[in-house]
C-alpha cells in the first residue's frame, strides 16, 4: 500500500514539474535585448518613468551581492543599475565610470526616483552607484551587506561620499 502511494505521489510530482514541457529557461533580460513573451516582466507600453524604474529596483531587495554580477543570482552596484534599466528597455553601460558619463547631471536637491546616485567609496571619483527611490532613500548593491538593500542618502557615510547625480530618463 505504501509503495503504491509513493508511486502515485511520484507520478503526480513529475506530471506537474516545471520542466515537464522540456522548455529551456531563457536568461534574464539584458539591456536592449527586449523580453521574451513568457517572462514575468510586462513590456513597456510607453516611455518608462523614474517611479517604474525605482519600483523594479525595489523588487530586487535581498538579491545577493556578487562581484561582477548582473542578474538576480547576484549583483554588483553597476550590474544592478544596468539590469533594472534593461528591464525598461533603456540601455546603459556596464561600469560605474561609464554610467557616470551617461545621462545629464542633476543637482542633489533635485533628485527624483530613478536618478542614479554616484559615490566615491574605494577610489577618488565615482566608484559606486545606486538608484534613487524617492525621499531620502536609494537602493543599491553594496558588498558590505552582501545583498541589495535600501539606504538613506542623508546618513553620514553616504552624504559625505556623494559625487554626482545623473538623470537617465
- How many Cβ atoms are within 10 Å of 119's Cβ, its own excluded? 25
Q: Which three cell numbers stand for residue 29?
A: 533580460
* Dihedral class, residue 135 (left if φ above 0, else alpha if ψ from -120 to 50, else beta): left
Which residue matches cell numbers 534599466?
A: 85
Cell numbers for 61, please give them.
531587495
Give catalytic residue positions. Answer: 77, 128, 140
B/e letters for 45-83, b = 16+ CB within 10 Å, e = fewer, are eeebebebbbebbbebeebebbeebbeeebbbbbbbbbb
* H or E segment to which residue 139 belongs: strand 137-140
Amino acid at each position: 500500500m505504501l509503495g503504491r502511494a509513493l508511486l502515485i505521489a511520484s507520478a503526480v510530482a513529475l506530471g506537474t514539474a516545471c520542466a515537464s514541457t522540456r522548455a529551456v529557461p531563457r536568461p534574464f533580460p539584458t539591456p536592449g535585448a527586449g523580453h521574451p513573451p513568457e517572462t514575468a516582466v510586462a513590456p513597456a507600453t510607453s516611455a518608462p518613468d523614474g517611479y517604474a524604474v525605482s519600483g523594479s529596483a525595489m523588487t530586487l531587495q535581498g538579491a545577493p551581492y556578487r562581484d561582477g554580477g548582473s542578474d538576480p543570482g547576484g549583483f554588483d552596484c553597476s550590474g544592478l543599475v544596468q539590469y533594472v534599466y534593461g528591464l525598461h528597455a533603456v540601455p546603459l553601460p556596464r561600469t560605474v565610470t561609464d554610467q557616470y558619463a551617461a545621462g545629464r547631471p542633476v543637482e542633489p536637491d533635485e533628485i527624483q526616483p530613478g536618478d542614479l546616485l554616484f559615490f566615491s567609496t574605494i577610489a577618488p571619483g565615482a566608484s559606486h552607484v545606486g538608484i534613487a527611490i524617492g525621499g531620502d532613500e536609494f537602493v543599491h548593491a553594496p558588498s558590505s551587506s552582501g545583498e541589495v538593500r535600501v539606504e538613506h542618502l542623508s546618513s553620514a557615510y553616504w552624504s559625505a561620499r556623494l559625487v554626482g547625480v545623473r538623470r537617465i530618463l
